[in-house]
Amino acid sequence: MSVTRTGEPEAPAGPDPHRWWALVVIALAQLMVVLDATIVNIALPSAQRDLGMSDGNRQWVITAYTLAFGGLLLLGGRVADLVGRKRTFVIGLIGFAAASGLGGAATTSGMLFAARALQGAFAALLAPSALSLLTTTFTDPRERGKAFGIYGALAGSGAAIGFIVGGLLTEYLNWRWCLYVNIPIAVVAVFGAFGLLRDRPGHKDVRLDVPGAVLGCGGLVAIVYGFAEAESRGWTDALVLGLLTGGVALLAVFVWWQNRAPSPLLPLHIVKDRNRAGCFLTMGLAVIGMFGVFLFMTYYLQVVLAYSPMKTGLAFLPLTVAIIIGSTQISARLLPRVAPRALMVPGMVLAACGMLVFTRLTVDSDYAGELLPGLLLLGLGMGLTFMPVFATATAGVAPQDAGVTSATVNTSQQVGGSIGTALLNTIATTSSTAYVAAHLRDPAQKALVVREGTVHGYTVAIWWAVGIMLLAGLIAGLMVTAKAPRHAPTDTAVPESVT
């Protein structure tokens, strides 16, 4: 669940008699954003074949969305404060639906990439305004807790629904319906928003840090594009080095500007706190590894093991269940009694162990004996980590910083997913190419060697993911020194794309 800067809640006078129906509308929007994280993963192999994407470029279907979403999330919250949350919510819904229609009708890979970026941009408007409306609609503490529980549950269950719906639509219709399905959901939510949601006008004194958004997004796009180009050009190519260097330079200027901007997107005092900085880094690094593995497992199941899209979606369900159990039944129960890093460090080690299982994959690995244990370990590890990261990052912040702090955790998640998908995909494809070149001696064996090379590339990239997960655990152990909270966290945000 993405959270952004909302300021102090502005409750309408008296409880809204339609507030529970309003929750349905807000939940529909949240479900649509969460579904899009997993539903497109299942459809990606079919879309790649249909549009002729290269292995190096396929990752843009994922990263175009996560880059725009994560890079513009903080700005989206400011826009909601400026023009009004209900208006921003409706604009986000309409724009998301239009971008989904454009993606579903895509005739080229570039058209699909652009549509996914537009989806991410409108999701950056939609997600923070949805949460803000939830906050202002439910003013009674008891009702608000129940509403937040329903809203947060969608972030976990929505991912599982995405796997199943993505498999069904891809197998029985085609991959384009994984994007078209957003249109009827958005239409219902728009009509519901006009009839059920209440909101006050925006604050005209809110300033938008457009230069900050341009610098931050520009730097991230340059780095991800550099990683993607390294697949075909090599790491020492002048363009690749220029993109990576330029991206780092833009991010450095972004940090400099945030110290001087009259209304910065990211007030730097938030990231100067040791515990929060450790949580941001842990989340970003954890998702770098996790998103890359999602991409490889989708292709491994559908392309190497010849699973149907529906069977692939069902194969991911144990991972989703393990994340929910680790987060709600283990972390949530232990966090009031133990230090956050006592959950985060074992969580990252468990996740790394799950990935170690995947490094042993072959062209004919068994799901129950080799894939399932890795999925369960990875899910439990991520579940153990996510809850304390969000609870610790948002603990003890000033009321005016609560929204932007939570948004920064979600931004680190989306940015980590973008970088991880691009970097690990490049490592996998270059390793596969090198393997095939070294082992293809008999043309009659080409199909087998290519399959073996593909799996070899995945396992090499997963070894890198193991190292990144262990680095995340090390950072959590060294930087997150907060003690156990006295009370269980309430209204703890749940990651937007936990799976």
- Mean pLDDT computed over 484-491: 52
Distance CA 472, CA 486 (A): 26
- Higher-scoring residue by pLDDT: 119, 71: 119
Phi-psi region of 205 (alpha: psi -120 to 50; beta: other; left: phi over 0): alpha
Contact present, 243 and 222 (Cβ < 8 Å): yes
pTM over 0.85: no
Query: Contact, 371 vs 314, CB < 8 A?
Result: no
Helix 19-51 with 85-104: angle, nearest 10 deg: 30
Query: Other CB atoms closer than 10 Å to residue 195's CB: what's the count?
Result: 11
Instruction: Note the pLDDT tens digit of each residue in 17-54.
Output: 667 777 778 877 877 887 777 788 888 889 999 998 88
The pLDDT value recorded for residue 499 is 40
Q: Which residue has the tokens 């691009």?
A: 422
Question: What one-character DSSP code corresponds to residue 445?
Answer: G
Tokens 């993911």, residue located: 465
- Give the single-character DSSP code of 181: T
CA distance 143 to 141: 6
User: E strands of 254-386, at which residues?
Assistant: none
Share the mean pLDDT of the chain. Answer: 81
**Stronger pLDDT, 26 or 464, i.e. the higher one:** 464
Q: What six digits make up the tokens of 414? A: 């989306």
8 Å CB contact between 8 and 399: yes
Are the beta carbons of 413 and 284 closer than 8 angstroms? yes
DSSP state string for 305-340: S---HHHHHHHTHHHHHHHHIIIIIIIHHHTTTS-T
pLDDT band at 165 (very low <50, low <70, confident <90, very high): confident
Between 192-201, 297-306, 352-361, 426-435, the lowest mean confidence (pLDDT) is in: 192-201
Confidence of residue 498 (pLDDT cuts 50, 70, 90): very low
Residue in the structure block whose two tokens are 């249909």: 50
CB 436 within 8 A of CB 449: yes
User: What is the structure's pLDDT at 32?
Assistant: 81
Three-state secondary structure call for residue 46: helix
Phi and psi, residue 473, nearest 5°: -65, -40
The enclosing H or E element of 109 equals helix 109-137
Query: What's the average model confidence in pLDDT over 351-375?
Result: 91
Q: In this predicted structure, what is the pLDDT of residue 62?
A: 84
pLDDT exceeds cutoff 80 at 344: yes
| Of 197 and 479, more confident | 479
**Mean per-residue pLDDT, 471-484:** 89
CA distance 476 to 468: 12
CA–CA gap between residue 281 and residue 415 (Å, rounded): 11
- Classified as helix, coil or strand, 496 is coil
Residues 133 and 142: their CA atoms lie apart, in Å, by 17
pLDDT of residue 352: 94
| Sequence-separated contacts (24+) of 100-103 with Cβ below 8 Å | 100/179, 100/180, 100/181, 100/182, 100/183, 100/186, 101/179, 101/180, 101/183, 103/179
Instruction: With a cut of 80, say whether residue 122 has pLDDT above it.
Output: yes
Residue among 330, 438, 310, 454 nearest 381 (CA): 330
Residues 100 and 114 sit within 8 Å (Cβ to Cβ): no
Pick from 132-141, 242-251, 475-484: least confident: 132-141
Q: CA torsion angle for 87, 6, 285, 67 (degrees, to 10)?
A: 20
Query: Comparing 149-153, 464-468, 472-476, which segment has the lowest mean pLDDT?
Result: 149-153
Question: Distance between alpha carbon 407 and the CA centroid of its chain, in Å?
Answer: 12
Percent of the chain with pLDDT over 90: 22
- pLDDT(199) > 70: no
pLDDT grade for 11, boundaries at 50, 70 and 90:
very low
Of 145, 117, 148, the C-alpha closest to 1 is: 148
Residues shown for the chain = 499
